[in-house]
Structure 1
Amino acid sequence: MSTLSRRRLLSIAACAALAASSRSEPLPRLTWHGVAFGADVSITLDGPEEITRPALARARHEIEAHERRFSLFRLDSDLVRLNAQGGLPDLDARWRNLLTLCDQLHHATNGAFDPTIQPLWHAHAFGGDVEAARALVGWRRLALPTPMQRGLHLDAGQALSFNGIAQGAATDAVRDSLKASGLTRVMIDIGEVATLGGPWRIGLSDPTAGHFATLKLKDMALAVSSPAALRLGAGAYHILHPKGDLRPRWSSVAVAARSAAVADGLSTAGCFMRAAELQRCARQLPQVHQVLVAHGQGNERAFSIPL
């Protein structure tokens, strides 16, 4: 099973307690359930059917477009070909936008967010040479696209996983599409949650502490990462630090932000960051609205990082 499926199971479990606030005159509701990035997804749209049905079709097109590029589940995806071939000669706008955001998050988190983690994850999950895999990790070693060079090239043995950002990017694209269709009340769950209108009530759960917070989201996105939700074997958590030798500081990290992709990336990297580091990083990212962390044990099981 790839990193993406493990990340998705976690996010869906953490955001399971969802209910819309009451309305005096509720609009017609259309809810779609499907599968993307190897797990269940859903989109809930409130509005007249003549708007919601064509809007949903466009939203599903966005999910498909992101899967074709960034899914580890599809043998024909760009990402699978990139990891197998070591490069892609030409990248479209979705690729360039995602790589730019990855670079920003890598810098903001002081390297804790690093999509080149895939060889290390694979070594832990399948009993490979962990030390050799660790030596392959390094975002700065990538030859990223430039105006003169539109492709992407990996060093020998490197591989990427966009676990911690691809679903967030797809979520943002779907929300933008639905907003452009004129919809004002929407809830999207593609592993990360994003909303239009609201408030929508979201319950947060930790693998050890259980329910630790309830948030009300309005025109906001949410991502949750909990390292202990799954283990790769030999004590390794499914969320790894790029250096490979650091244990998570938090049992869960939840980030509410205007961008689901930013929330996704920061919640993943934030598992290894001290409270002061999380605060500094969140303040560098203007999209971030709130950061909550959970210990999983003790009297103060969860608290909000002041921003």
Structure 2
Amino acid sequence: MNRREFLQLCGAFTLSAQVGNLVCAVDGMATATGGTPLFSRTRLAMGTFVTITIAGASQTQAEQAAGLAFATIERLSRVFNEFDPATPLSVLNQQGSLKDAPPELTACLRLGAACHRQTGGAFDPTVKPVLDMFRRNGADTDVSRLPLELIGYDMVEVRKNAVTLPRSGMGLTLNGSAKGFIADRAGEAMEQCGVSNYLLDAGGDIRARGSKYTASRAMPWRVAITDPRPQKDRLAVLELHNQCLATSGGYEVFFDREKTHHHIIDPRTGDSPRHSLGTSVVADSLTQADALATAAMVMVPRQAAQCLRQARTRAWLVEKNGVVTV
């Protein structure tokens, strides 16, 4: 089977995991130079490999914190996995409404609504009907019949513990925010165990807190962003301290032979953006970075840059014509 089929078999967040390789492995994962070895564990979760690295903690404390983080990821994956028909998100998409919705689902949807407003509608999880049409039909998709009338996140009703999709056929895909949301909750679980220095790498989506240690001093976590342009290496090497990094791109998974339609959908047109190769965003939370990176892909670069400046983020926008805006 190919990589896409394998990730679908693994479960949740398949398409967002496809672009995780835009972020390279963290520099110095195994040990802190000259100091105490870093604790590190890797598991397959959310359709990708998740690595947790902890510094400045005892083996017992690190084991407990990492175990709780992975348990949190597993629990929340059973909420957000849209490929499992039994999850609350899938039930919502099937039935059009959900009573007694898990608080994590409503919290993620509210954060998505805030990003929807912040980006002028560019971030919109209701593109699922269009995405599903491309998934089913691939190159044979009739773009003149895309169900654009079902797109509009402002139509989604989120109450205290209930969610309603008012139009028949509407659906939500949370590939642009759920992985970041789950990673944030996993990080918070580690912090409740007293761990304050860690790096959580969820297939290239990074949550960094505190520092890693050498024999003499604390050092920030270092992460390299891969340049999505052909024959390029690193776009940037970042030092992260209490920050998160997410990357979105649309050059690995295509639904047509011409490679014009991929898993990122412009909610205004139902088309895939054709001006950008990838966007990397550094923000305070991984939920925000994840959603903003997705939204920036569907905006024209100038509009995306303005939006990201207003959000007070650091970002790298790579256009197909080779222009990079930082």
Q: Tell me the TM-score normalized by structure 1.
A: 0.88
1:153 and 2:167 equivalent? Answer: no
Give, in whole Å, the separation in 2 of the partners of 1:283 and 1:258: 14
Counterpart in 2 of 1:302? 324
RMSD, aligned CA: 2.2
SS in 2 for 1:232: coil
Give, in whole Å, the separation in 1 of the partners of 2:222 and 2:321: 24
Residue type at the aligned position of 2:81: S
Between 1:50-59 and 1:228-237, the stretch displaced more is 228-237
Q: Is the 8 A contact 2:80 2:89 kept in 1?
A: yes
Q: CA deviation at 1:91?
A: 2.0
Name which of 149, 168, 171 aligns with 2:183.
Answer: 171
Structure 1 residues not aligned, in runs of 5+: none
Counterpart in 2 of 1:202? 223
Between 1:165-174 and 1:22-31, the stretch displaced more is 22-31
SS in 2 for 1:18: coil
Name which of 216, 228, 242 aligns with 2:251.
Answer: 228
- Identical-residue share of aligned pairs (%): 26
Residue type at the aligned position of 1:15: V
Name which of 95, 117, 137 aligns with 2:105.
Answer: 95
Q: CA deviation at 1:237?
A: 2.0
Residue type at the aligned position of 1:214: V
Structure 2 residues not aligned, in runs of 5+: 212-219
Give, in whole Å, the separation in 2 of the partners of 1:260 and 1:57: 20
Q: CA deviation at 1:86?
A: 1.5
Q: Is the 8 A contact 1:27 1:48 kept in 2?
A: no
Counterpart in 2 of 1:42? 51
Between 1:100-109 and 1:201-210, the stretch displaced more is 201-210
Q: 1:252 to 1:220 in 2, by over 3 A?
A: same
Within-5 A mapping of 1:68-217: 68-127=78-137, 130=143, 131-145=145-159, 147=160, 150-154=161-165, 155-191=167-203, 192-198=205-211, 199-209=220-230, 210-211=232-233, 212-217=235-240
Q: Is the 8 A contact 2:32 2:38 kept in 1?
A: no
Between 1:97-106 and 1:196-205, the stretch displaced more is 196-205
Counterpart in 2 of 1:281? 307
Paired residues in the alignment total 296
Q: Is the 8 A contact 2:23 2:224 kept in 1?
A: yes
Give, in whole Å, the separation in 2 of the partners of 1:75 and 1:49: 38
Residue type at the aligned position of 1:50: T
Residue type at the aligned position of 1:152: V
Q: Is the 8 A contact 1:253 1:271 kept in 2?
A: yes
1:19 and 2:12 equivalent? Answer: no
Q: 1:144 to 1:169 in 2, by over 3 A?
A: same
Q: 1:132 to 1:273 in 2, by over 3 A?
A: closer
Q: Deviations over 1:145-165 (max 9, x none)?
A: 1x5xx3111121011110110
Residue type at the aligned position of 2:236: A
Between 1:250-259 and 1:179-188, the stretch displaced more is 179-188
Between 1:105-114 and 1:57-66, the stretch displaced more is 57-66
Q: Is the 8 A contact 1:200 1:216 kept in 2?
A: yes
Q: CA deviation at 1:19?
A: 1.3
